[in-house]
Amino acid sequence: MILRSLLFVPADSEKKLAKARTSPADALILDLEDSVAPENRIKARGLVREFLQGERGRAVWVRINPVGEGGYKAELADVAAAAPAGLVVPKPDSPDVLRALDRDLAELETTYGLPQGGIKVMPVATETPAAVLSLMDYRNPPPRLAALTWGAEDLSAALGAAANREIGGEFAFAYKVVRSLALIAAKAAGVAAVETLHADFRDAEGLERVARTARRDGFSGMLAIHPGQVEVINAAFTPSADEVAQARRVIAAFAGGAGVASLDGKMLDKPHLKQAQNVLALAEAARR
Ligand code: COA
Ligand code: MG
């Protein structure tokens, strides 16, 4: 499963759902939370069910409302019945929330005759101050964890901040720290890290810069909020022909089983070999 681009689609919008069908996004996230007005939630759940019935092959995720909030059980029962690839979980204060969700999902999978553990989870793991402090607990990963992403919007509201960006547009220091911790938490849990969204959806140049930086730092994909962002993100998270060629040169330098090698006057050892193998694996996955 390759998860470079994950496109959010407000699940109460027939128009956007139809548009999403033709998007080259690796995954869709049908949103039942912040982009849907509470009075539209029931309608949106019906549209999620319909959408999943008509979709073949692509990973369709659903962002549910926070675990334990009013209407949680009914919403979860409806969504699980549609057997999505996974659930994006907003605002969990800690991985324990995902453990509680796992128990509820296990019951529903039994009820509906679905494979146990088939529905995966991806938390937006930094939306509350408590959640940030619990990131270390992902070292002992909760069941079903497939990826971890982070968000700055709800967190800055919770912190009482007036803004989460510097004048020049970069994230303020607190959010850079949180982003790094989320990346490290994902890797400690052994799952993919997904970069947060770029809200300025007409800014293709800025998006490309952010996405390339994310890939360099170790993220394997990024959230999208507009169809126009998907191709930029897919390209940024796919190794270029030059990168693939360079990776092959690095691997060739180790031919014969040497532990250390030299290439273009620089020392190469095991981490470089591993990085080169990662690039080839990613390029191969992107081709499929
Ligand atoms: N998924 C599918 N289709 C989308 C889409 C999305 N996320 N965002 C826009 N579109 C569609 C529009 O309906 C429009 O369709 P049309 O060509 O048939 O008219 C087309 O793409 C172009 O959209 P555009 O006019 O550029 O944007 P907009 O002003 O209609 O919408 C947003 C802007 C931000 C409201 C919209 O992109 C959106 O809803 N994004 C997702 C928000 C979300 O899910 N937030 C929760 C996660 S933070
Ligand atoms: Mg939110």
**Is the C-beta atom of 90 inside 6 A of ligand 1?**
no
Say how many Å lie between the CA of residue 35 and the centre of ligand 2: 8
Say how many Å lie between the CA of residue 9 and the centre of ligand 1: 8
**Total structural domains in the chain?**
2
**CA nearest ligand 1 atom 19, residue:** 15
| 182 and 216 housed in the same domain | yes
121 forms beta bridges with 87, 145
Per DSSP bridges, beta strands 266-268 and 59-63 are unpaired
Q: Identify which of 1, 2, 15 has the alpha carbon closest to the alpha carbon of residue 227.
A: 15
| 127 and 191 housed in the same domain | yes
Q: Best mutation site among 6, 15, 16 for ligand 1, i.e. most ligand atoms within 8 A of its Cβ?
A: 16
By CB atoms closer than 10 A (0-12, 13-18, 19+), residue 118 is middle
**Is the C-beta atom of 78 inside 6 A of ligand 1?**
no
| 176 and 272 housed in the same domain | no
Q: What is the pLDDT of residue 257?
A: 85
**Which ligand minimizes its atom distance to the CA of 29?**
1
| 90 and 211 housed in the same domain | yes
**Is the C-beta atom of 227 inside 6 A of ligand 1?**
yes
Alpha carbons 286 and 130: distance in angstroms, whole number: 36
| 154 and 253 housed in the same domain | no
**Which ligand minimizes its atom distance to the CA of 153?**
2
User: Ligand 1, closest atom to CA 17?
Assistant: 2
| 256 and 140 housed in the same domain | no
| 19 and 69 housed in the same domain | yes
**Is the C-beta atom of 10 inside 6 A of ligand 1?**
yes
Domain endpoint, select from 220, 236, 252: 236
Provide the whole-model pTM.
0.96
| 131 and 13 housed in the same domain | yes
**Tens digit of pLDDT per residue, the chain (288 long)?**
789 999 999 999 999 999 999 999 999 999 999 999 999 999 999 999 999 998 888 999 999 999 999 999 999 999 999 999 999 999 999 999 999 999 999 999 999 999 999 999 999 999 999 999 999 999 999 999 999 999 999 999 999 999 999 998 899 999 999 999 999 999 999 999 999 999 999 999 999 999 999 999 999 999 999 999 999 999 999 999 999 999 999 999 998 888 899 999 999 999 999 999 999 999 998 888
CATH number of the domain enclosing 121: 3.20.20.60
Alpha carbon 15 to its chain centroid, in Å, reads 24
| 162 and 116 housed in the same domain | yes
Structural domain that includes position 45: 5-236
| 90 and 175 housed in the same domain | yes
Q: What is the pLDDT of residue 162?
A: 96
